[in-house]
Amino acid sequence: MAKTSLPLAASFLLLLISSAAAADTGRLFLTVVNHCPFTVWPAIQPNAGHPVLEKGGFALPTNTHRSFSAPATHWSGRIWGRTGCSHYNGKFSCVTGDCGHRLECNGLGGATPASLAQFDLHHGAHLDLSSYGVSLVDGFNVPMTVTPHEGRGVCPVVGCREDLLKTCPAHLQLRSGHGGHVVACKSGCEAFRTDELCCRNHYNSPQTCRASSHSLFFKHACPSTMTFAHDSPSLMHDCSSPRELKVIFCH
């Protein structure tokens, strides 16, 4: 009997490993990658009713990445990059994308202007569909793309690879300090605060909210991004059963 117990034990162990591997292949990973020549501090904000992932924020030095599992149930939210962050007199703050002077945003939103990756993930036994897109509706602070891996259906790479800080019109520029270098590019809404540009009140509908010369600056540079509040819904892509969604800064 002793001679047969080892193969049985080995077979059982192999079955456990195979089952774990099979279960692992069904998981969806979110990976944040920094190819910028400077540190980026990614921030993650869930939509209402969804859990905070990775405490909502962390530092990501140049040429590094961080991967984590998406929830096994429905999750929606956004990821953006904060830049120029530092600790000073015991306080953490960022030049762009700041979330209440915290390293770990824990559900807080970020200051605009900021490039945003948006997600609506239905990941489970009966439905495995990932909807994603990149939005410049709130302006731009760092190049960003979303790259799906091993998905089926409509699964393009989307986002903005261009460094719009170099070409941002003077009236949309956000500069550091007094007359410092350009750190972000504002939306028309943030720059001028009108109902028409912000798609508020009478202009808050697909019929009245229109592209402007300001949003067209972003659209011409990065056509696969959303650039005003009622931009085409088709810019959010539905990808079936991706293994991984990568948010890449400076792709």
CA distance 138 to 116: 8
Lowest mean pLDDT among 19-28, 37-46, 115-124, 146-155: 19-28
Bridge partners of residue 223, in order along the sequence: none
For the stretch 32-88, pLDDT in tens is 999 999 999 999 999 999 999 999 999 999 999 999 999 988 999 999 999 999 999
Q: Which amino acid is at 177?
A: G
User: For 174-202, what is each residue's pLDDT tens digit?
Assistant: 999 877 999 999 999 999 999 999 999 99
Angstrom distance (rounded) from CA 31 to CA 83: 19
Q: Token match 């709130």: residue?
A: 138
Domain definitions of the chain by residue range: 29-249
Cβ neighbours of residue 166 under 8 Å, at least 6 residues apart? 182
Tokens 């969806």, residue located: 28
Q: Is 80 helix (H, G, I), strand (E, B) or coil?
A: strand
Question: What's the CATH number for 29-249?
Answer: 2.60.110.10
